[in-house]
Amino acid sequence: ILQSKNEAEARSKTFLKNTISDISHQLKTPLAALMMYQEILSDEPDNIQTVRTFSAKIGATLNRMERLILSMLQIARLDAGNIIFEKNSLRIADLVARSMADLTERARLEGKKLLTEGDSDMLLDCDPVWTVQAIGNILKNALDHTETGGIIRIFWERTPAMTKLVIQDDGSGIAPEDLHHIFKRFYRSSHSLDKEGVGLGLPLAKSIIEGQGGLISVQSAPGKGTAFTLSFLTKP
């Protein structure tokens, strides 16, 4: 019992150390940028255009830091097993609609289409809040890697064994050397079109789906788009 307790405490300390290390390492760059912007503003306080430009940069950097910290804390809670998923049977169509809500306007402004297809009455046993976030993260990733005029399809189907939700885009696709790394934290491909991301959207989505007993897989090829498939065992 004592040995088991000591091992658990050692794992907890290692986990905490790694989490703090990850957060501090990732905050170094935006903090350095904020210091630089502040120095520029101090040097030219009367230059209205400079003040406006770097005030906007400061705001964007602070937003990025906020997303980074919140995502890291969520992943830490998931990894530590501190999240209890409250599962309910919900219509997949409603889950998808909620996931798209904050991205519809962005898609319109960028000239991209979000299309849905599936049985409107099909149910999925899941935690709605966390699952909506996971789907939303994957949709955002699809928008980030799809050019103007692109189409993102969200469709779902059920087999006797599995309930599947697929998010498919016709964007830039994923290079073969990147495909096996996209769920790693902070991984940023050299081919990425997304310059503002923090590299945690897909790892967080994976933790959420797998934490509920589901599976997430990806199929992609450069120039041929990407398809993420969320699979859950069909409820008897």
DSSP string, 172-222: S---HHHHTTTTSTT---TT-S-SS--S-HHHHHHHHHHHTT-EEEEEE-T
Q: How far is CA 33 from CA 51, 57, 69, 141, 200, in A?
A: 15, 9, 17, 25, 20
Name the strands in the sheet holding 226-233, side by side, starting at the edge strand that comes first in the sequence: 113-117, 151-158, 162-169, 226-233, 215-220
- pLDDT confidence of residue 187: 64
How would you classify residue 158: left for phi > 0, otherwise alpha for psi between -120 and 50, otherwise beta?
beta
Intervals of the chain under pLDDT 70: 8, 11-26, 186-199, 236
Note the pLDDT of residue 133.
92
- Residue 89: the pLDDT is 92
Give the ranges where the chain is alpha helix by DSSP (H). Answer: 2-43, 48-79, 92-100, 104-109, 128-144, 176-179, 201-211
Task: Name the β-bridge partners of 232.
Answer: 163
Neighbour-count burial for 175-204, b at 16+ CB within 10 Å, e otherwise: eeebeeebeebeeebeebeeeebbbbbbbb
pLDDT of 12: 64
Tokens of 179: 């495909």
Q: Which amino acid is at 15?
A: F
For residue 167, give both structure tokens.
Answer: 């998010």
State the pTM of this model: 0.75
pLDDT at 137: 92
